[in-house]
Amino acid sequence: MISAQGALERLREGNRRFVADLEGRGAGAGRTNRGALPAAQEPFAIILGCSDSRVPAEIVFDQGLGDLFVIRVAGNIVAPSQVGSVEFAADRFGTRLVVVLGHSMCGAILATLEELEQPSEHRSPNLRSIVDRVRPSVEGLLGTDLRRDRDALIRHAVRANIRASAGHLQHGSRILEHLIRNDGLMVVSAEYSLETGTVDFFDE
C-alpha cells in the first residue's frame, strides 16, 4: 500500500491536472480497473468531504474508480458514523492517508453563523444536528474583530471547522490514534477553492 506521503503527492498531482484542465488518468483509470473492482478495492486515500455538489473528490483530484474511499456529509463534520467509516477503510484496506476536505463558502458554515447571529426556533432538528457540530469551532470567532469583515469571518470559520474535524479524527478514536502512532496513518486538512479549483493542504 502506498505511504501517506506518497498518497498526498498523488492527490496534489491530480489536483494540478484538474486545475490545468488536462486530460488526466481519472476516466481511463476507472474503465481500466472496473473489471477488477468487484473482487477487492485498494483505495490509496480516504477523503472526508462536504456533500456540496461542486466538490466531488474523484473529479477535483482527477482519480478513477477504486482510487478513493470517499465519505461525504454537509459541512465535512465528524459524527460517530464518519469516524467508523474512516476506521473501517484505514483498518480494512491499509489506507494510510485521511484528508478532511472542506471548501470555500461552505453552506453549513454559513448556516451555523446565521444561527449564532440570529437563532431560529423553526430549524429542522436534523439540520440543527449539523449546525451543533460546526458551532464549537466557529463560535469563538464572532467575539473577535473578524465579525466586522464578513468574508474574512467565513474564510476563518471554514478553516476552523476543517481543523476541528481533523482533530476529532486524530484524537477521538483509539483505532485511528493507534494507526497514527504505530502504522504511518496521517490525517491532513485541506480546503478546496470553488473559485480556482485548487486544493490547499494545510496543517500537515
Does the structure show a pLDDT above 80 at 24? no
Q: Is 181 exposed, middle or buried, given 0-12, 13-18 or 19+ CB atoms closer than 10 A?
A: exposed
Residue 136: inside a domain, yes or no?
no
pLDDT confidence of residue 30: 47
pLDDT confidence of residue 136: 95
Mean pLDDT calculated for residue range 152-170 = 97
Mean pLDDT calculated for residue range 159-178 = 97
Report, in angstroms and rounded to the nearest whole number, the Rg of the chain calculated over CA atoms: 17
Residue 63: inside a domain, yes or no?
yes
pLDDT confidence of residue 17: 93
Confidence tier at 31 by pLDDT (50, 70, 90): very low
Residue 100: inside a domain, yes or no?
yes
Mean pLDDT calculated for residue range 122-133 = 89
Residue 193: inside a domain, yes or no?
yes
Q: What is the pTM of this model?
A: 0.91
Cα–Cα distance, 179 to 186 (Å, whole number): 9
Out of 97-106, 120-129, 181-190, pick the least confident: 120-129
pLDDT confidence of residue 81: 96
- Assess contact for 68 and 61: CB atoms under 8 A: yes
Confidence tier at 1 by pLDDT (50, 70, 90): confident
Report pLDDT digits (tens) over 63-76: 999 999 999 999 99
Residue 179: inside a domain, yes or no?
yes
Confidence tier at 40 by pLDDT (50, 70, 90): confident
Residue 146: inside a domain, yes or no?
no
Q: Which domain holds residue 25?
A: 4-105+163-202
The grid coordinates of residue 158 equal 471554514
pLDDT confidence of residue 22: 55
pLDDT confidence of residue 120: 82
Residue 137: inside a domain, yes or no?
no
Report the CATH number at residue 186.
3.40.1050.10
The total of structural domains in the chain comes to 1
Residue 128: inside a domain, yes or no?
no
